[in-house]
Amino acid sequence: MNDALSPEELSSDLREGSSKFLKRRRGVVGLSLFSVGVMGSIALYQMGILKTVPEPRLPGFNTDKVTSSPEAYSHLSAPDALLGLVNYGVTACLAGAGAQNRWKTHPWVPLCMAGKVMMDVTLASKLAVDEWAKNRAFCFWCLLTTAATFVALPLAVPEAKAALRRLTGEQRDS
């Protein structure tokens, strides 16, 4: 992606910038990386590196049962947490790509990011419902990831709206 900024300028722009869209993008990155961390911990269990995933003792929660279920290994012959780790990594990359003003210079990027976050919300919702329906238990950490995913959505939408206005000719500055 070329925003007409050198790598040095982009580095400064992303680290020191203060636009409202950049602040929200940082939130999406943080929430995505939180989810990557959770998925990494579960993947360690699913691969046998950890023998259990610690969680609060609350009724209805059994992370080990949910994350060792047949459903957790039913896609691409891989533990689902490894797939989730990659998924949230892609979301973080989309949030991190481009300069502060990317909604003006590359409007498709914030639209793709918002679309990706919407897909994440849909998938996380389906997985949460499936956890209970198929296992009669919830994964505590998975539900935290679901919550983080839901929080990311309202952070992603405003920049996407500005990008859409830009593409349709309504060029109000934000």
Rounded percentage of the chain residues whose pLDDT exceeds 70: 96
Range of the domain at 82: 19-168
- Assigned domain for 6 exists: no
Q: Is residue 88 part of a domain?
A: yes
Residues of the chain above pLDDT 90, percent: 93
Residue 37: give its domain's CATH number. 1.20.1440.130
| Tens place of pLDDT per residue across the chain (174 aa) | 445 789 999 999 999 999 999 999 999 999 999 999 999 999 999 999 999 999 999 999 999 999 999 999 999 999 999 999 999 999 999 999 999 999 999 999 999 999 999 999 999 999 999 999 999 999 999 999 999 999 999 999 999 999 999 999 876 554
For residue 173, being part of any structural domain is answered with no
Query: Is residue 114 domain-resident?
Result: yes
Whether 7 is covered by a domain: the verdict is no
- Domain-embedded: residue 95: yes
Tokens of residue 174, six digits: 């934000």
H/E run at residue 92: helix 80-96
In a domain, 5, yes or no: no
pTM for the predicted model, two decimal places: 0.92
pLDDT in tens, 96-146: 999 999 999 999 999 999 999 999 999 999 999 999 999 999 999 999 999
Torsions phi, psi for 138 (to 5 deg): -110, 150
Sign of CA dihedral 139, 141, 145, 147: positive
What's the total number of domains in the chain?
1
- pLDDT of 2: 47
Angle between helices 20-46 and 80-96 (to 10 degrees): 160
Distance CA 166, CA 174 (A): 11
- The answer to whether residue 146 is domain-embedded is yes
